[in-house]
Chain A
């Protein structure tokens, strides 16, 4: 029996308060082809047009029954504003950075008109629309890219990764720019109505860098960003973040979003020793379960996530757009059992 609204539920969870049932959200993108068809709003138009973007994002509430809606769908707004050239994926694909605009050592200026560049105005307008139309019912989440990951998008990825190990100090000015950009965008999102900010710092993954590099080049800037924002921040980092999960919590973030390969009971034990109460979000594998599985598989995995101590049920990373609606709804059905 649900006795809380979606808004109350998510906020209670982020504030370590009791909830009537676990909230279900998608920390990363949640648009699917099914929802595009039902809502009559599709890619690539929904990447550019604020009302189409908001319409497609609203599916998380109106179709899936999630407790939050979020924009954007891709991870390229900040990099595009810094001059990266994107490749679009037509009706079915996400834009990604095709030409990285700089070489390590180049002088990169912070664009004064950052918030007016590329698709950022449309993104902010989409948040205003979501807040206006759904803000009394569900949490509106704005997604930005983490400081380390914005910096990584400015350069060829292998050059960047090599420098993290060989010449880490050379990267600091760019990571500072990344922090400034993400924080500026997040503040504008909050002003537009965002209740929660999701920071995707996908390159700060242990699949890419070591715990030491994370601590030296990513952590401090994530922390600075969290401290600069006056709403709860959910940090998402892909892969096995086990060695750094206590560090992530110590940024002061409102929740940590992880992939299913993270040992959550062990992480929570570590938290307990340190007196950390940060909720962990995730529990459902987006590819193995949501995309290739059936509703029963989703339910099984979501039940397991509940028993492992996840506080918020979410896909562990971006939802594959070909995911069937029934699988996403199965997440909500499970928490209502």
Chain B
């Protein structure tokens, strides 16, 4: 599989002309791994299962995950950041990746070792959880365990989950400005409980000004920042340092 053959993917999905198509950079010398990566990049959920099963007959599941599935999703994230890919492609690619990871983990007999835990939620009163779903997929694609509290989550439940799972960071998304005040309450309760943790908030309802007005608050401009932020936290960033860097 050569770089040139990716031109077919772009032609098939008629992406040429949608924006300047930048060279797809992720390649592997191993044909099977290359095919798996391509499947993720194409979001081919029909084919990924068979390919991963075939690969697992002779290959280490961790190699399939790291070099095929996760690398493919990394490429999707890059194409998204470039403006070549749009949200539907990212969702479909993430489905393909997760299906592949499930098969690999079944073969391993255990869950792959995660880099850390993150708790995510959509604000109390808000049932628009698309943004949170995207963030979840990106965290998973980058090797983190996601405790997905879902949508319309009461303030107390978020604080309880932070106490229980001791995550690297906690995120909140809000689309409606009527719901974002829940974030301040979470911040206050975490502070009362003596917990010190980055609380990354994003979504249409919130702004840099609003989020940085409460303790722990770090404003997430878009979903693509989420993996970079958690990687910084895993490397020892405090919430103040995270805010300093991104806000």
Contact = CB atoms under 8 A, between A and B. Distances in A.
B176 A96 contact: yes
Given A93-B178, A243-B19, 5 more contacts: A92-B178, A212-B14, A213-B86, A286-B177, A291-B210
Contact of A157 (B125, B130, B176): B130
B209 A292 contact: yes
Nearest to A293: B209
Interface of A: 87, 89, 92-94, 96-98, 157-158, 161-162, 164-166, 206-213, 238, 243, 286-288, 291-293, 317, 320-322
B178 A89 contact: yes
8 contacts: A96-B128, A97-B127, A161-B87, A161-B130, A165-B88, A287-B177, A288-B209, A292-B210
Interface string B84-97: 00111101100100
A292 B43 CA distance: 40
B206 to A, nearest CB: 7
B18 A210 contact: yes
A161 B178 contact: no
B189 interface: no
A162 B91 contact: yes
A166 B44 CA distance: 10
B14 A162 contact: no
Contacts, number: 86
B207 interface: yes
B162 to A, nearest CB: 25
A209 B177 contact: no
* Max chain B Cβ within 10 angstroms of own Cβ: one of A161, A213, A286: A161
- Taking residues whose C-beta sits less than 8 angstroms from the other chain, chain B's interface range is 20 to 34
B88 A89 contact: no
Nearest to B84: A210
A95 B133 CA distance: 21
Contact of B133 (A98, A158, A288, A321): A158
A292 to B, nearest CB: 4
B205 interface: yes
A94 B207 contact: no
B231 interface: no
Contacts of B43: 165-166
A162 B176 CA distance: 24
A161 B125 contact: no
B209 A161 contact: no
A161 B133 CA distance: 12
A286 B13 CA distance: 36
Contact of B92 (A166, A211, A238, A322): A166
A94 B128 CA distance: 12
B236 interface: no
B204 interface: yes
Given A94-B178, A96-B176, A209 B205 contact: no
Interface string B115-150: 000000000011110100100000000000000000
Contact of B205 (A162, A166, A207, A287): A287
B91 A87 contact: no
A112 B15 CA distance: 40
A321 B86 contact: no
A87 B127 CA distance: 8
A207 B83 CA distance: 11
A162 B209 contact: no
A98 B151 CA distance: 10
B28 interface: no
Nearest to A289: B207
A171 to B, nearest CB: 12
A93 B176 contact: yes
B127 A96 contact: yes
Given A96-B127, A288-B209, A321-B178, A211 B88 contact: no
A243 B20 CA distance: 12
A246 B165 CA distance: 49
Contacts of B130: 157-158, 161
A321 B179 CA distance: 11
B207 A292 contact: yes
A293 B207 CA distance: 11
Contacts of A209: 86-88
Contact of B87 (A166, A208, A322): A208
Contacts of A94: 176, 178
A212 B84 CA distance: 12
A238 B203 CA distance: 13
Contact of A211 (B18, B91, B126, B133): B18
A212 B14 CA distance: 8
Given A92-B178, A320-B177, A210 B207 contact: no
B87 A207 contact: yes
Contacts of B178: 89, 92-94, 320-322
B86 to A, nearest CB: 4
B91 A287 contact: no
A164 B14 CA distance: 14
A134 B206 CA distance: 34
Interface in B169-224: 176-179, 204-210
Contacts of A317: 204
A321 B205 CA distance: 11
B170 to A, nearest CB: 22
